[in-house]
Amino acid sequence: MTLLVEKRGAAGWIVFNQPTKKNAISGAMWRAIPPAMEAFDRDPQVRCIVFRGAGSEAFAAGADISEFESVRSDRSAITEYDELLDRVLHSIQDSLKPSVALIHGYCLGGGLEIALACDLRYCGSLAQFGIPAAKLGLAYNVEGHKRLLETVGHAWAREIMFLGRRYDAFEASGMGLVHRVLPDGELEAYVDGVIETLCRNAPLAIANTKTVLEEYVKSEGEPDMARMRAAIERCAKSADYIEGRRAFMEKRKPRFSGK
Ligand code: COA
């Protein structure tokens, strides 16, 4: 099973389990998340939801790039994939139960998107963060930009996206990407304490805060969706995007031409 879903006491756990690929998230794993979230949402015994990666090397090193050629190459496949991601991230964000990302090691691309859809993020000191879309020629989605912007602000959002580099745990903490950095050996016990508190506190008070904060971050005025979609389309159709994913699979540096 590449996605483990289980209840431990009053917490629902969702574990990315593809350790040979640094827990990269395949289509099957993405698709299994919304039903798992729905089951936890319906279950009155579940008071919070925790995401983590199997082992301690990675939370998730992004979406599974080896599948991109088949599931994320032409426009309709990309739209389908983006819609799937949207469903997944909204199933986490819109849940009225609090969610926690417990982050060991790599937390990249789609892995960071999941963490950003969670309410709380705690990481070990060896964790690494990044969104390498610009290194892959990948058109990063609209709501992913919004979650990043709401979490770290304009200045960091631009640097993270433009440079596509990796940030260590302390840099991530400095920009507000995670709530707290713990020594790796102490992370799990710390998060257990957070889970205990979340499970003890009043569910409706937490649900109330989630609802009110979500309403406050709604944009004022409509963003120009057509303009955003056109930018995504141009990038998604580009030769550079083909080059980016091939270069990753062939373990070489990409040569981008801007076309
Ligand atoms: N998709 C598919 N496979 C991935 C992957 C991903 N996102 N991330 C890692 N893997 C695979 C590697 O291809 C490698 O497979 P192999 O053993 O068959 O060669 C295996 O996981 C181990 O990764 P490797 O690169 O050898 O480990 P590393 O410690 O040198 O580097 C990373 C780890 C995470 C820095 C590096 O794998 C990486 O950059 N991954 C891609 C991250 C990314 O761009 N994510 C965003 C996707 S949208």
Q: How far is the CA of 24 from the centre of ligand 1 (A)?
A: 8
% of the chain residues with pLDDT over 70: 100
* Residue 170: per-residue pLDDT: 97
The pick from 2, 17, 18, 22 for probing ligand 1's pocket by mutation, whose C-beta has the most ligand atoms within 8 angstroms, reads 22
CA-nearest residue for atom 34, ligand 1, is 61
| Closest residue to atom 27 of ligand 1, CA basis | 22
- The residue contributing the CA closest to ligand 1 atom 12 is 21
pLDDT attached to residue 50: 98
188 Cβ contact partners less than 8 Å away, ≥ 6 residues apart: 102
Q: Rounded to whole angstroms, how far apart are CA atoms 211 and 213?
A: 6
Give the count of beta carbons closer than 10 Å to the beta carbon of residue 168.
15
- For residue 200, report the distance from its CA to the centre of ligand 1, in Å: 38
Cα of 54 to ligand 1 centre, how many Å?
15
In this structure, which residue's CA is closest to atom 14 in ligand 1? 21
The 10s digit of each residue's pLDDT in 241-257 is 999 999 999 999 999 98
Q: Whose CA is nearest to atom 8 of ligand 1?
A: 61
The overall pTM is greater than 0.85 = yes
pLDDT at 35: 98
pLDDT per residue over 178-229, tens digit each?
999 999 999 999 999 999 999 999 999 999 999 999 888 877 778 888 888 8
Tell me the average pLDDT of the chain: 94
Q: What is the pLDDT of residue 183?
A: 98
Report in angstroms the alpha-carbon separations of 184 from 55, 56, 123. Answer: 12, 9, 8
66 alpha carbon – ligand 1 mean position (Å): 10
Give the nearest ligand 1 atom to 131 CA: 46
Q: Which residues have any ligand 1 atom within 6 Å of their CB?
A: 21-22, 24, 61-66, 106, 108-110, 132, 136
pLDDT at 72 over 80: no
Ramachandran region, residue 95 (left: φ > 0; alpha: ψ -120 to 50; beta: rest):
beta
Say yes or no to pLDDT of 71 above 80.
Answer: no
Cα 161 to Cα 231: distance, rounded to the nearest angstrom: 15
